[in-house]
Amino acid sequence: MSENDHWDRIWSHSSGGESGDLDQEIFRVLRQGVDFTGRSVLELGCGRGTLGRFALERGAGQVTLLDRSAKALAVARKVLAGRDGVSFVQAEVLSLDLGRRFDIVLSSGLLEHFRGEEQIRCLEAHADHAGEQVVIIVPATPHWNEFHCRTGRFRSTYGYERPISIRRMRALFRAAGLTPALMRRFFPLYNVGFYWSLPRTGLPPLDRFLDRKCAKLDAWATKRGTPGCGRWRGSRAAC
C-alpha cells in the first residue's frame, strides 16, 4: 500500500468532528509565541485542518491547508465549510514549491513521520515557504511515545513515527537555515494511557478529582522535563 493510500484509508473513517483536548492544548501553547492577527498561514500535513481553523478564529488573514491525502482535505473542507480566506492544496511536502511565502508556516504531527534526509527536506519545505515564522509541533523524547510508536497497533494505523529529541530539532533547524526563537516542551503526559483513561469514568465528582490530580502531575512533569529551552533572535524564527 502506498503512503497516499494509507493516509486516505485513515482519513476516510474521519468525519472531522469537534476539536479535541489535545488540539486545544497545542493551540493554547502555540498562541503564547505566535500572533496570527492579519497573517497568512500555511499548514503542512493539515489533516482535518484544526489548527488552521483556530488560526482563522484568532484573526489570521488567510489560511492555506495542504495535505498529500485527498481524503484528509475532504474532511478539512467540511471542518472549514463556509469560512472565508481558506484555500486547499493537495501536494507532497518533500517536493513542494508553491511559488510564494507565507507569514507563518506550521505543522503538527508531520515531521516525526520522516527520517534521515527526508526529515531535513521536510523542514526545508517549511523554511522555503516561510516569511516570518516556522512552527513545528512534534512528540519529544524522552517520552512514552518512544515505546508507544513502536507497537504493532500504532504502526498499522500511523505508519513510521519516532519522537524527536531537542538536540535533533536543533540540528534540523540549522540544516534548514532556521534560527530557533523558542523551544518548549509541553504536555509530557500526552499518549500516557492512564492520563486519558482515568478521567472518563462517567462519574462527575470522580472525574473532576482525577482531572485536578492529572493537571498537577502534568504541571510537575512539565517543570521536571523541559531541558534545553531557550530564546534566540533571528530573521526567520522557528518555534
Here the CATH number for the domain that contains residue 113 is: 3.40.50.150
Residues 6+ apart with CB under 8 A from 106: 30, 34, 41, 42, 43, 44, 51, 55, 134, 135, 136, 137
In a domain, 140, yes or no: yes
* Predicted local confidence at residue 84, as pLDDT: 92
Grid cell locating 200: 472518563
Which domain does 82 fall in, by range?
Answer: 3-186+226-238
| pLDDT on residue 184 | 76
Alpha-carbon gap, residue 66 to 89, rounded angstroms = 5
Considering the domain boundaries, does residue 39 fall inside one?
A: yes
pLDDT (tens digit, 0 to 9) for every residue of the chain, 239 residues total?
455 566 777 767 665 555 566 778 788 888 888 899 999 999 999 998 999 999 999 999 999 999 999 999 999 999 898 899 999 999 999 999 999 999 999 999 899 999 999 999 999 999 999 999 999 988 877 666 667 677 777 777 777 788 888 888 889 898 888 888 877 776 665 555 444 444 445 567 776 676 677 667 656 655 554 333 322 223 333 44
Is position 85 within any domain? yes
pTM: 0.76
Residue 231 located in a structural domain: yes
Residue 158 forms part of a structural domain: yes
How many angstroms separate the first and last alpha carbons of the chain? Answer: 34
In-domain check, residue 172: yes
Identify whether 151 is part of a domain.
Answer: yes
User: Which are the contacts of 120, defined by CB distance < 8 A and separation ≥ 6?
Assistant: 172, 175, 176
Distance of CA 111 to CAs 57, 93, 105, 118, 201, Å?
A: 25, 10, 13, 9, 34
pLDDT value of residue 19: 57
The confidence score (pLDDT) of residue 189 equals: 57
**Are 67 and 46 within 8 A, CB to CB?**
yes
Number of domains in the chain: 1
The verdict on residue 81 lying in a domain is yes
Q: Name residues whose C-beta falls within 8 Å of residue 154's C-beta, 6 or more positions apart in sequence.
A: 148, 161
